């Protein structure tokens, strides 16, 4: 794993009147790592992810991605530069097949780059890539099923595929295990683990068991500020984190 910084967030503030949803939050994500953002309810996790994706504009601070200042770059331009977001908005077409859903995502991305392939060749290429992504997210045997006929867990796998089809450098994931049963969660967990080193991930997740198994590094947000960043081991042992978030009990250290 390379240790270059892919995303650097400095002193990000988002104010709503007198309330600061993020309050000088700073964070760095290294190329290739799985980075988790944790914190109690209302700590500002969703706000921070929205500021990074471009869904919200910050009141102050700076965001640098892949060497570029993207603080004021619109969301679609961030996506074109390789910053994708999954899971917040369900983007599956229910009446299209898994393969067609993925082929559309590939097409949407290709629209951003010039190429000179003939249309027929382009189409074959697109579907080959869609099939590859379906395989990648564990839907290789389900390519001809309709999006709407998939189980909840399979739909989340497809959503992950839609994001991966754009070949992102950094993928933002908002609660990838939300609403899943134990088996589905486990499948998503190993899927995300299999992306390690291939795609850099920044995820918000409430399932602490999953976070501690998955993340290379964890940042802890409390009242809009990142109070600690470190390996799962370091975060478990950090007294401030234990006090503010995990609860200073034996369960948190198990
Ligand atoms: P949760 O874990 O419950 O999803 P969170 O860590 O994602 O919480 P945010 O949703 O980012 O926290 O909210 C941070 C704070 O900002 C909260 O106090 C919230 O009430 C407030 N907030 C968020 N969005 C707005 C808004 N549009 N207008 C006013 N206040 C907001």
156-180 pLDDT per residue, tens: 999 999 999 888 999 999 999 988 8
Q: How far is the CA of 46 from the centre of ligand 1 (A)?
A: 7
pLDDT at 248: 53
Q: What is the atom index within ligand 1 of the atom nearest the CA of 43?
A: 6
Best residue for ligand 1 mutational test, from 45, 48, 172, 207 (most atoms within 8 Å of Cβ):
45
Query: Could you tell me if 155 and 185 are in contact, meaning their C-beta atoms sit under 8 angstroms apart?
Result: no
Q: Treating both helix axes as pointing N-terminal to C-terminal, what angle do 119-136 and 98-110 enclose, rounded to 10 degrees? A: 120
pLDDT at 125: 87
Best residue for ligand 1 mutational test, from 44, 202, 220 (most atoms within 8 Å of Cβ):
44
16 lines ligand 1 (CB under 6 A): yes
Nearest-CA residue for atom 15 of ligand 1: 21
Q: What percent of the chain has pLDDT over 70?
A: 89
Q: Residue 97 has what DSSP assignment?
A: B
Nearest-CA residue for atom 16 of ligand 1: 21
Mean pLDDT in residue range 224-250:
84
The whole-model pTM stands at 0.89
Q: How far is the CA of 22 from the centre of ligand 1 (A)?
A: 9
Domain coordinates in residue numbering, the chain? 1-82+168-254, 91-167
Q: What is the atom index within ligand 1 of the atom nearest the CA of 39?
A: 6
Higher local confidence (pLDDT), 44 or 112: 44
Nearest-CA residue for atom 1 of ligand 1: 41
Q: What percent of the chain has pLDDT over 90?
A: 70
Mean pLDDT in residue range 25-47:
95
State yes or no: pLDDT of 249 exceeds 60.
Answer: no
Mean pLDDT in residue range 183-201:
93
The mean of the pLDDT values for the chain is: 89
Pick the CATH number of 1-82+168-254 from 3.90.1300.10, 3.30.420.40, 3.90.1210.10, 3.40.50.300: 3.40.50.300
Q: What is the atom index within ligand 1 of the atom nearest the CA of 20?
A: 16
Q: How far apart, in whole angstroms, are the C-alpha atoms of residue 167 and residue 245?
A: 34
Using a 10 angstrom Cβ sphere, with 0-12 exposed, 13-18 middle and 19 or more buried, the burial of residue 239 is exposed
Spatial neighbors of 69 by CB under 8 A, at least 6 apart, are: 62, 63
46 lines ligand 1 (CB under 6 A): yes
State yes or no: pLDDT of 114 exceeds 90.
Answer: no
47 lines ligand 1 (CB under 6 A): yes
Q: How far is the CA of 144 from the centre of ligand 1 (A)?
A: 39
| List of E strands, the chain | 5-16, 19-30, 34-38, 60-65, 68-69, 83-86, 170-174, 200-204, 217-222, 225-230
63 lines ligand 1 (CB under 6 A): no
Query: Could you tell me if 214 and 231 are in contact, meaning their C-beta atoms sit under 8 angstroms apart?
Result: no
pLDDT at 122: 77
pLDDT range class, residue 242, cuts 50, 70, 90? confident
48-88 pLDDT per residue, tens: 999 999 999 999 999 999 999 999 999 989 988 999 888 65
195-231 pLDDT per residue, tens: 998 899 999 998 889 999 999 999 999 999 999 999 9
């Amino acid at each position: 794993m390379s240790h270059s910084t892919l995303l650097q967030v400095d002193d990000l503030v988002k104010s709503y009147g007198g309330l600061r949803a993020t309050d000088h939050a700073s964070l760095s994500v290294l190329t290739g790592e799985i980075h988790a953002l944790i914190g109690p309810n209302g700590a500002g996790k969703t706000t921070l992810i929205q500021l990074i994706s471009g869904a919200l504009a910050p009141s102050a601070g700076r965001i640098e991605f892949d060497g570029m200042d993207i603080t004021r770059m619109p969301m679609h331009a961030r996506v074109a530069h390789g910053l994708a977001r999954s899971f917040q908005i369900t983007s599956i077409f229910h009446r299209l097949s898994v393969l067609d859903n993925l082929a559309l995502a590939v097409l949407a991305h290709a629209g951003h780059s010039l190429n000179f392939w003939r249309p027929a060749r382009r189409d074959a290429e697109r579907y080959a890539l869609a099939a590859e992504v379906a395989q990648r997210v564990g839907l290789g045997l389900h390519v001809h099923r309709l999006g709407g006929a998939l189980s909840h867990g399979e739909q989340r796998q497809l959503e992950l595929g839609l994001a991966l089809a754009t070949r992102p450098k950094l993928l933002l994931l908002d609660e990838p295990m939300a609403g899943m049963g134990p088996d589905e969660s486990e499948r998503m967990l190993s899927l995300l683990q299999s992306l390690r080193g291939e795609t850099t991930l920044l995820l918000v997740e409430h399932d602490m068991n999953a976070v501690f198994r998955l993340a290379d590094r964890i940042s802890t947000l409390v009242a809009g500020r990142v109070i600690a960043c470190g390996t799962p081991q370091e975060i478990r042992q950090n007294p401030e984190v234990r006090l503010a978030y995990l609860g200073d009990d034996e369960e948190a250290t198990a």
